[in-house]
Every structure is written in structure tokens, then in C-alpha cells.
Structure 1
Amino acid sequence: MARLKDEAVALLVDVVSSRTGDREALHEAVLDAVRATNDSVAATDPLRITVGDELQGVYATLGDALAASYTLRLRLAPRWDVRFGIGGGEVRTIDEERNLQDGSAWWLAREAIEWVEEEAARKGHASARTAIRDERPVAVGQADALARLVDERLGSLRPATVGTMSGLWEGLDNAAIAEREGISESANSQRVITNGLRPLNDAMHALATLP
């Protein structure tokens, strides 16, 4: 008999254009990013690789699912790109031994990730990487649009700036980020200011608090 879980948020992840390039390097990068994400973001069911290049995880809140998506994305960027479908609803475990799940959260997450793929192909919407479909009573209607604004800003960052943004997201100070990036503190500070990274970081962390 299927076991009904409390309402939860399902996260589906798909690697963009994953069939091209160095497959071994991609696999190692994904494993590293998954480990980092699971270490830093609490999950009901931790993020894991499923079939092919798809990943999935279950979170108690939309904020946690978004935090996981940002952590994973920044760990893989700029070399690898990912898209996310997030669904809020019911999650049923239909096979505990194999951790097979079903329920409206998964159906909505699938609908969301398919929408993202179609939306990104539309002129003027190439930055779309995240969609949210949430039917829970606590759902925040504006979350989907706000997440796509973050997508647009993250997608516009130059490759050299991604590392600085990742450091900010992780909560590192300017000196630690500069050392990791191999640049001076003043150069890193200039990156932050020139690219408006602090407001972006603030917005991402605000979205990570959503119920």
C-alpha cells in the first residue's frame, strides 16, 4: 500500500545538453555538486541521480528546494548548465525499498521542468531555468515569476563572475572569495559592485525562506 507523506516540495533537475562534451567530467562534477548541495541544504529525501542525467530530491519547503537549486547550479556553473522543475503537493512512497515515489508534487515538478525547456526555446526567454508549480495552501503565487528573475540575472553573469557569486551565496567574506578565485580583494570587491551581486544574493536568500 502506498504511504502518504505530508505535503512536500519535489525538485527535478535536468542537465542541459548533457550528451555533449566530456561525459566523465560531467558525471564527476554532478556528483560533487550533489554532495555539496546535500551537505548544505536540509532535505526530506536528499538530492540523488536517478535515470540518465536527471536528479531528484524532496524538501519540506519551497525555500529549501530553491536553495538546493541555487547551490547545485552555482557548483556546476559556468561549465555545466541545469534546469529545474519544482512541484508543491503530495508525495507518496510506493516502494520503500527502492524509494519509488509518486504524487501530485512529482506530477507538477514534471510539468514545470517540461515547461522550462519549452520556455527557454522562445525568443527573449533563453534564460529560463526554473519553474514552480505549487498547489499547497501555503504556496506563494509570485514565487514562480521571482525565480525566473533570478534565472535571468544568474544567466547574465560572465563566467569569471560566477565564482564570486558562488562565494557570496555560500556566505564567504570578500577575502575568502578572492583567495579562492585567485584575485585580489579589491578586484573581487569590484566584481561584486559592478555586477550588482549583493542585491542578487539578497534576493536568492529571501526566496530560500519561502514556506
Structure 2
Amino acid sequence: MVIAVIADIVGSRSLKDRASAQRVLDETITRVEADLPLATQPLTPTVGDEQQAVYARLGDALTSLLMLQLALPDGISFRFGIGVGAIRAIDSVHGDLSDGPGWYAARDAIETVHAREQRAVPRMRTWIVGAQGQDEVMESVIAASNAYLLARDELVGAMSERERRLTYGRLIGTPQAELARTEGITQPSVSKSLRSAGAAALIEGVAQMRGAAS
């Protein structure tokens, strides 16, 4: 069992410069992987506005995708469908093709995000679906994780670009004084921004996931 992720770009058709946006996405994905390499296959473009990634553990996927949400600038964001299940390589004249229940579950998950964000949960960006055959423990983990993701996406979606940058910096261990110098503000202003944005809850959530995975 692995964690398969399908990501698509929010509002891709309305982007004024799709090529420039893709460069930003590529650079941000590379940065996140350099700061905390968790993916067995980092997000890679497939077709259209979609990308795919593979992780060994659910906690790794949730941590990495949060970092990406925080690192992206205003106007460019992803939806994420996370599938828990097996994947397999299929031989092809074009090289190995990745297939399997994990990908089908990820597709179901991202379709759920599309449907719900258009109705009652506009800031929803992430959902998890387990392929058939999950045991009761994993089913409970997925349900609890989805409840966590609803709250997490709401919190991140309400942040300003600066608050996301500051939260990302603290998440990777950058001191507040250094963040203040980078942003051209005072250290107390950094602390106030982090506190008002609810950054501590996100950072503690990552610590809990990383602790559970270690």
C-alpha cells in the first residue's frame, strides 16, 4: 500500500500566463522537496493541469502538501486528491505506466474536492479516499484525517500570503528574527501575525504527524 496523490491547478483556465504559473509551481515543488524530502515520487506534471506524486506514508503526504499550500503565492494553488491503496507499473512501449486502486481512489478524492468546494466548503482543497479492502484501523485513520483536513484547509485558506510564508518558515525551523529581517518587519510583528493566523496549530499538527511516522 502506498499513498497516491493527484493534484490539479485551481482556476487553471483563468490564469493569464499559464506557462509562468507552471514555472512557479515547479520551483515551489522543488523548494518543498529540498526543505523536507518526503515523496518517493515528487509531484510531476502528467497532462493538462494535473500532477501526480507518490508517498510511502499518509503523514508524509499530508505534511508535504501542507508545505506546498503554504509556499505557493496568491493566485496559484492546487487541489489534492489522496488515494490510499496499491499501485503497480504496467509495461508499455512508452515506458512503465503507473496504475492501480491507489490512483482510482485519488481520482475519486479529487472529484470530491471539486464537488464540495463548489457548494458548502469553498476553501476545501484536500481529501482522502481509501481503495477497497482497507482494514478498520485505516478506515478510522482516513476519516479522522479528512476531518483534520477540512479544518486545516479552512485555516490555510484564510491566511494572507505573508502569513503563509511566515508559517512555512517556522515549520522548517527558521527563527522569527530571521523571518522578520526577510519580511522587513519587526520580530513582534512576526509573532503577532503567526498568532492571529493560527500558525501554531498547523505547526503542532505537523509535529504530531511526523512524530507518529517516526
Q: Which runs of 5+ in 2 are unaligned?
A: none
C-alpha deviations, 1:94-143, integer Å up to 9, x for none? Answer: 138634211111000000001101100013x1111000112444521311
Q: Secondary structure at the match of 1:85?
A: strand
C-alpha deviations, 1:23-42, integer Å up to 9, x for none? Answer: 23201101101212332232
Q: Distance in 1 between matches of 2:183 and 2:96?
A: 39
Partner of residue 95, structure 1: 91
Given that 1:66 and 1:208 are in contact with CA atoms closer than 8 Å, whether structure 2 keeps it comes out as: no
Q: CA deviation at 1:170?
A: 2.0
Q: Distance in 2 between matches of 1:209 and 1:147?
A: 18
C-alpha deviations, 1:24-76, integer Å up to 9, x for none? Answer: 32011011012123322322222211111211111100011112211222221
Bigger CA drift: 110-119 or 39-48?
Answer: 39-48
Q: Distance in 1 between matches of 2:10 and 2:62?
A: 18
Indicate how the Cα distance of structure 1 residues 210 and 12 shifts in structure 2: closer, same or farther if over 3 A, else same.
farther
Given that 1:62 and 1:210 are in contact with CA atoms closer than 8 Å, whether structure 2 keeps it comes out as: no
Q: Secondary structure at the match of 2:75?
A: coil
Query: Percent of pairs identical after alignment?
Result: 33
Match of 2:187 among 159, 162, 185: 185
Which consecutive segments of 4 or more residues in structure 1 shift more than 4 A? Answer: 208-211
Given that 1:10 and 1:105 are in contact with CA atoms closer than 8 Å, whether structure 2 keeps it comes out as: yes
Partner of residue 16, structure 2: 21
The alignment's TM-score, normalised by the length of structure 1, stands at: 0.88
Q: Report the RMSD for the aligned CA atoms in angstroms.
A: 1.9
Partner of residue 3, structure 2: 9
Higher percent of residues as helix? 2
Indicate how the Cα distance of structure 1 residues 58 and 74 shifts in structure 2: closer, same or farther if over 3 A, else same.
same
Q: Distance in 2 between matches of 1:208 and 1:22?
A: 36
Q: Which runs of 5+ in 1 are unaligned?
A: 1-6
Q: Secondary structure at the match of 2:44?
A: strand
The alignment's TM-score, normalised by the length of structure 2, stands at: 0.87
